[in-house]
Structure 1
């Protein structure tokens, strides 16, 4: 019986390091998960703060649509374009409203100077979009001292 008690003691000693190793592994895994969660939640707040710093985009639609007639190979053609301007500043929206006649006039001149064949290609449309942006930014720069508009969007583009 004494030998049996000694055998049980040796088994407990062998189990103790194994049990200690398992407990240590569980603690390390839990610590790793906790640290990861803590780091991820902190980073998310910084990203939200950065997103909040940039104001939301404001879309300013120029109405009515622009419409131009062309003659291609002796046949009359129609070009119709709806334009929206993107800004992030309320004072720019007010300036757009105030100076809309000047902006529309400049865009009409720009559109009427385009070649129908050029506008049929994606590159030609992109070039027109960039020229339109430059024209609007030039007007705003002159009137309010800053370009104000980030992008020009063509929301409707019809060629017949």
Structure 2
């Protein structure tokens, strides 16, 4: 009987290993380059801005990322007549302020602000608050009323925005 042996020849595939290493190095360089580019794009250099630009930036609100929020402890619950039927509305509210000092002042006057908001909400028209435009109008009226109330007490509006964090109508 003839013995047959199977021999496997394993040839090193230098090209494929070399290609894998090159691809890994290129990928790593692209990743590092992207991280460096992101760092420079996201970290603004304060030396590039002129004094006039700095004053303008300080005078204008910078948006929600630098804001603080004051939650009203309980949601507003009230009835609204819509087409002859009574509907119950529940609204959870937070007030956007600029800094710690404003937050302290607003918290001090929460009962007065709650009254202003309740007056605003209870005078709302049920048909209009069914739509998103109606809710936005209600939010705008609420902001105007709380700013007016704060200005009457403190001389400054302090509140930048009224946020509805919950809105249920049944």
What's the Cα RMSD here?
Answer: 2.8
- Report deviation, 1:74: 4.0
**TM-score scaled by structure 2?**
0.62
Secondary structure in structure 2 of the residue aligned to 1:44 = coil
Q: In the alignment, is residue 116 of structure 1 matched against residue 126 of structure 2?
A: yes
Counterpart CA distance in 1 for 2:107 and 2:77 is 20
Counterpart CA distance in 2 for 1:48 and 1:144 is 38
Give the unaligned 5+ runs of structure 1: 1-36
Secondary structure in structure 1 of the residue aligned to 2:159 = coil
How many residues are matched?
120
Please name the residue that 2:145 is paired with. 135
- Is the 1:89–1:148 contact (alpha carbons within 8 Å) kept by the matching residues of 2? no
Please name the residue that 2:163 is paired with. 153
Go from structure 1 to structure 2 and tell me whether the alpha carbon gap of 1:146 and 1:118 turns closer, same or farther (over 3 Å shift): same
Alignment of structure 1 residues 1-160 onto 2, 5 Å: 44-46=44-46, 56-160=66-170
- Is the 2:70–2:107 contact (alpha carbons within 8 Å) kept by the matching residues of 1? no
Give the unaligned 5+ runs of structure 2: 1-36
Structure with more of its chain in helix, by fraction: 1
